[in-house]
Structure 1
Amino acid sequence: MKAIVLTKRGVDGVVLQDMPEPAVPSGWAKVRMRAASINRVDLYMRDSGAGITHELPLIMGVDGAGEVVEVPDGSGLSPGDKVVLYPYEFCGTCRPCLAGDQPLCHSARILGEHRHGTFAEYVALPARALVKLPDDVDMDQAAVLGVAYLTAWRMVFGKAPAGPGSVVLIQGAGGGVSYAAMQLARMAGARVIVTTTGEDKITHFRDLGIATIDYRTEDVPKAVQALTREEGADLVIDNVGDRTWSSSLKSLARGGHLVTCGATTGGHPSADIQRLFVRQLSVHGSTMGSMEEFRRLMLAFASGGLAPPIDSVFPLAEVPAAFARLEEPARLGKILIHIS
């Protein structure tokens, strides 16, 4: 089968090549992949991969959607079913799995990080990691939900859930997770404020009726205070790290919550402990979401509750060009890979 394989670190290490089709152990299913999406972690794996247990060569890609080819009896699935892939291979028997918190599985392996991923014509996964889609679903849109939208779902509806009347600040709203969080927070009835930069992005969000702060020309905490009658945001969504951490903390209302899922600009900002305890702020770490959260996300999508924007589409052979597009500041929305 054709697959995008990371053979070594760096741009030159990402190549299209033939790989054996995956084995299908008992209880597993085989999926013919139709589409997948590009995520920031793909660039991290290409350039570093530090801290992630894996071996090269590695098929890249974390999420995607396709059609069932082989499936075990009793799974509730049949050959030909359209499915979306949960990005984790989880054991189902450890304490977190039994509690329904699969991202904390003691032996979890993330596709495209710890094991072969979705930039391939076929993928094998435990059948329990597949969610069936309606026959009339948009497979392209479904394919981009597994990482960005599942991550955003837990951030918005997790330990400090947004809801009607709450104020949610989203840093760097042009990115995949942040854009998803914007859509989900609005779906929840919250008032959303976003930070971004660039004329096109600012116009896009303001046309949606969203309060928008240009982080290059405005003082973000002061702008948030002005927009909230000096109260601040109840929830801040931040996956940027060092560059935005201070402004995220300063933008919070008293008793507010900061949720983080990434540190693309560095992972060691000042903790600002005095602000934390004086204002009784909470900081929550978040990584993707559970199978139940994934099912709820898919129900919301299938019912028309949200529609992920697609920035651009590339064939499998042009994944390196898709990576370059991900790094362009003008990008808005998800980058889709057509596989077959």
Structure 2
Amino acid sequence: MKAFVIEQGELKITDMPEPEAKKGEVLVALKTAGINRRDLNLVNRHGNKPEPLIIGSDGAGVVEAVGEGVSNVEVGDEVIINPALRWFTNSDTPPPEFDILGMPDHGTFAEKIALSAEQVEKKPHHLTWEEAGGLALPALTGYRALFTKGEVKKGDTLFIPGAGSGVATFLIQFAKNIGARVIVTSRSEDKLAHAKEIGADLAIATDSDWVKELENETVDLAIDSVGAATFNRTLDVLKKGGRIVIFGATTDDVVDFNLRKFFYGQYQLFGSTMGSRDELREMINHLDQYKMHPIVGKVFELDEAQQAFDYLKEAKQFGKVILRIS
């Protein structure tokens, strides 16, 4: 089968053996897969190992075969891949056996994947293959950060630095669905406009004076994945006693901040990463309830995977970058 792999420190399309569904596993013929920023960093992590690794965490497709003992899905079922491996019950932190699909396990940038039947969920009927293929990792990450950790509620004001990422688009939609007010930032006028189109109440430039721009706002919750470039600026616009959730660091991941200012302000800081199967199922129910559609930024064919990676590196996208597999 055709796959996009890392081999001896390089990314390339190659032929790989077709997997089989072993006991407790399913074989999924993939229709689409979603590229995440995590995938961009795997070449360095994999190093120069000679054995090829199929990367990719997100995907959606049709069950082609089931192994012995599988009862939750049948051949012909349309499913999405849950990339949060072996984290089933909602908990404060992931269990020790938790990992993310796509390294060290073979991932979704291939025509087929075999994995534990516990790692697939039925595809929401109202989603296209392109919408479903990039759903799980960013939507689950956003759902846990917003609801489990951030405890957002109707009437809260949410602040999101960086409006264009896949997670940010889910955060905007989730928050608006339950009646929160949403403020976003971006360097791109186009991304600011797109953010408002999908529900953001206020969209401001990254290089503007945030304190001045938001002097009449009360920010209850901030969710930041940018890192050092925005952490202190975000803290400056958060209300006293407000909550800030961090789930990533696309800039420098080491931050200096004023502890005295922090504890006098009674701020609350939470870390978050992906989420459990319980939360994934809650998120899917949320999508069904609100008939919500993920934002697809651009679609590439599997043969164009390198171009898709280059596109994501340039941060041009608004929404998910998708590979069409078959």
| Equivalent in the alignment of 1:19 | 16
Give, in angstroms, the shift of residue 30 of structure 1. Answer: 1.2
| Equivalent in the alignment of 1:215 | 206
* Residues 305/136 of structure 1: CA separation in 2 closer, same or farther (3 Å cut): closer
Q: Please tell me whether residue 49 in structure 1 is matched to residue 35 in structure 2.
A: no
On the 8 A contact 1:241/1:269 being kept in 2, the answer is yes
Counterpart pick for 1:83 among 58, 79, 84: 79
On the 8 A contact 1:168/1:191 being kept in 2, the answer is yes
Q: Please tell me whether residue 296 in structure 1 is matched to residue 291 in structure 2.
A: no
CA distances 1:53-109 after superposition (whole Å, capped 9, x unpaired):
x9852111111101111224452211000001100231x7xxxx5x54497121223
Query: What are the ranges of 5 or more consecutive residues in structure 2 without an aligned counterpart?
Result: none
Q: Please tell me whether residue 257 in structure 1 is matched to residue 248 in structure 2.
A: no
CA RMSD of aligned residues (A): 2.1
Paired with 2:205 and 2:50, the residues of 1 have a C-alpha distance of 41
| Equivalent in the alignment of 2:37 | 40
3-state DSSP of counterpart to 1:105: coil
Paired with 1:282 and 1:79, the residues of 2 have a C-alpha distance of 47
| Equivalent in the alignment of 2:55 | 60
3-state DSSP of counterpart to 2:204: strand
The sequence identity of aligned pairs, in percent, is 36
3-state DSSP of counterpart to 2:280: helix
Q: How many residues align?
A: 323
Q: Please tell me whether residue 244 in structure 1 is matched to residue 241 in structure 2.
A: no
Which deviates the most, 22-31 or 275-284?
A: 22-31
* Residues 146/304 of structure 1: CA separation in 2 closer, same or farther (3 Å cut): same
Which deviates the most, 312-321 or 128-137?
A: 128-137
Counterpart pick for 2:165 among 175, 189, 194: 175
Give, in angstroms, the shift of residue 267 of structure 1. Answer: 0.8
Give, in angstroms, the shift of residue 188 of structure 1. Answer: 1.9
Instruction: Normalising by structure 2, report the TM-score.
Output: 0.92
Matches within 5 A, 1:275-290: 275-290=261-276
Paired with 1:55 and 1:302, the residues of 2 have a C-alpha distance of 43
On the 8 A contact 2:72/2:117 being kept in 1, the answer is no
Give, in angstroms, the shift of residue 172 of structure 1. Answer: 0.2
On the 8 A contact 1:33/1:339 being kept in 2, the answer is yes
Paired with 2:200 and 2:237, the residues of 1 have a C-alpha distance of 20
| Equivalent in the alignment of 1:332 | 318
Paired with 1:76 and 1:58, the residues of 2 have a C-alpha distance of 28
* Residues 75/121 of structure 1: CA separation in 2 closer, same or farther (3 Å cut): same
| Equivalent in the alignment of 1:4 | 4
Give, in angstroms, the shift of residue 28 of structure 1. Answer: 1.3
Paired with 1:134 and 1:140, the residues of 2 have a C-alpha distance of 12
Q: Give the AA of the match of 2:39.
A: D
Paired with 2:194 and 2:57, the residues of 1 have a C-alpha distance of 28
On the 8 A contact 1:240/1:264 being kept in 2, the answer is yes
Paired with 2:258 and 2:24, the residues of 1 have a C-alpha distance of 48
Q: Give the AA of the match of 2:170.
A: A
Instruction: Normalising by structure 1, report the TM-score.
Output: 0.89
* Residues 104/55 of structure 1: CA separation in 2 closer, same or farther (3 Å cut): farther
3-state DSSP of counterpart to 1:237: strand
Give, in angstroms, the shift of residue 49 of structure 1. Answer: 2.2
Paired with 2:126 and 2:211, the residues of 1 have a C-alpha distance of 44
